[in-house]
Amino acid sequence: MEGVQLNLISKERLEKMSSMEKLRMILDEVKSGTIVVLESGLTPEEEAKLIELTMLEIDHENFVGIEVETYPQKSGGFLSKLLGKREGRLTVIGPANKLKTLVKRNDLIKALVRP
Amino acid sequence: MSLILRIKKKFGLILKFLRKKNRLRIGIYGPPNAGKTTLANRILMDWCGGDVLGSVSEIPHETRRARLREGVTIEVNGKSVTIDIVDTPGLATKIDFHDFLKYGLSEEEAKRRAKEATEGVIEAIKWLDDLDGVILVMDATEDPFTQVNITIVGNIEARNLPLIIVANKIDLPNASPARIKAAFPQHTVVPISALKGLNIDALYRCIAEKFG
């Protein structure tokens, strides 16, 4: 059956992985054409690292980068600010040639998946 | 750890502390074609006797290496602040050489530009660890909810760095700084036109206030 594969990764599974494990898994899946949905998303530092790793993997022929869909971070409470802990939000990551953002708002994201 | 390494580390910390006290290193960030280099050039033109930091172009990713200008003194209302300015390459999550062909570049030039642009993005991200504050330049005619903007703001917040968001290109008819203010209400947004110099004094006041 033809189509685009979607991998939905639970928060529990993500919590068991180190940052590099997560990023490697995402990039490998996305490079193979899969769209990855992360229930709890990535931290801002992980997002920056993902962009960095993506740039290293761009080959200008088959892989030109990624499209990332996520909401802005919620401003944390006093405790999360004190502990410096920031939780990521639902995030969709796909190959740039398959996933295209249509509308992005504070509380709504519309995207198009090309087969 | 050897004695030399310990001394080196200690001196490094002291130097960093002194630099932070006397002169902050401010990065100019944003997506490609937001007007980062135009703004850096405007600041230098206004405060460094007409110097420029880099060339500007309508082709995205014109700046592909970070450029540093040290000791830029800005004086506002009798208060002066001296900063180092780092003009960074535009951040992006994808770089496709085909996009450059539309601007008349040959395939070879487009591929070279794309390769250098990927290196520039990595360099810009690396600089985040060595800054004391950030000016994030957004194109006020574009949707501010891009992944690049969200990632930069998230990283600056995570590092507790002072941030000024510049809503650039207000000289264009479809500019909407209000859309940027609504998207990032927790941050200071200054609407300007770096190209025309519109409202640039408000930005200098803000720089003196935030980074002074």
Where does the pLDDT of residue B1 fall: very low under 50, low under 70, confident under 90, or very high at 90 and above? very low
B121 contacts A55? CB cut-off 8 A: yes
Overall average pLDDT of the B164-193 stretch:
96
Tokens of A59: 């080959």
Where does the pLDDT of residue A103 fall: very low under 50, low under 70, confident under 90, or very high at 90 and above? confident
Q: Kindly report the CATH class assigned to A6-113.
A: alpha beta
Residues 6+ apart with CB under 8 A from B176: B140, B141
Tokens of A6: 């979607």
Q: How much is the CA Rg of chain A, to the nearest whole Å?
A: 15
Where does the pLDDT of residue B9 fall: very low under 50, low under 70, confident under 90, or very high at 90 and above? low
Assign B133 to helix, strand or coil. strand
In a domain, B173, yes or no: yes
Residue of A nearest to B114 (CA): A60
Residues of B in Cβ contact (< 8 Å) with A94: none
Q: Which range marks the domain in which residue B196 is found? A: 25-94+120-211
The total number of structural domains in chain B stands at: 1
Element at B63 (helix H, strand E):
none
In a domain, B65, yes or no: yes
In a domain, B88, yes or no: yes
Report yes or no: A86 at the B interface, CB cutoff 8 Å: yes
- The DSSP call for residue B130 is G
Q: Is the dihedral of CA B44, B46, B49, B55 positive or negative?
A: positive
A70 contacts B93? CB cut-off 8 A: no
In a domain, B29, yes or no: yes
Write out pLDDT tens, residues B96-139.
999 999 999 999 999 999 999 999 999 999 999 999 999 999 99
**Phi, psi at A57, each rounded to 5°:** -95, -15
Whole-model pTM: value is 0.88
Element at B136 (helix H, strand E):
strand B133-139
CA distance A86 to A41: 11
Q: Is the dihedral of CA B150, B154, B156, B162 positive or negative?
A: positive
Tokens of B48: 């460094």
Assign A6 to helix, strand or coil. strand
Residues of A in Cβ contact (< 8 Å) with B114: 58, 60
Write out pLDDT tens, residues B144-169.
999 999 999 999 999 999 999 999 99
Report the candidate in A50, A47, A98 with the shortest Cα–Cα distance to residue A70: A47
Residue B177's domain is classified under what CATH number? Answer: 3.40.50.300
Average pLDDT, chain A: 88
pLDDT score recorded for residue A45 = 93
Judge contact between A104 and B135, C-beta under 8 A.
no
CA distance B80 to B205: 10
Tabulate helix, strand, coil % of chain B (nearest 5). 45, 20, 35
CA distance B4 to B168: 48
pLDDT score recorded for residue A59 = 92
Tokens of B20: 């932070």
CA distance B122 to A102: 26
Overall average pLDDT of the A40-49 stretch:
94
Percentage with pLDDT > 70 across chain B: 90
Would you say how long chain B is, in residues?
A: 212
B122 contacts A64? CB cut-off 8 A: no
Write out pLDDT tens, residues B33-68.
999 999 999 999 999 887 788 888 888 998 889 999
CA distance A27 to A37: 12
Where does the pLDDT of residue B20 fall: very low under 50, low under 70, confident under 90, or very high at 90 and above? low
Please report the number of interchain residue pairs, chain A to chain B, with beta-carbon separation below 8 angstroms.
90
In a domain, B207, yes or no: yes
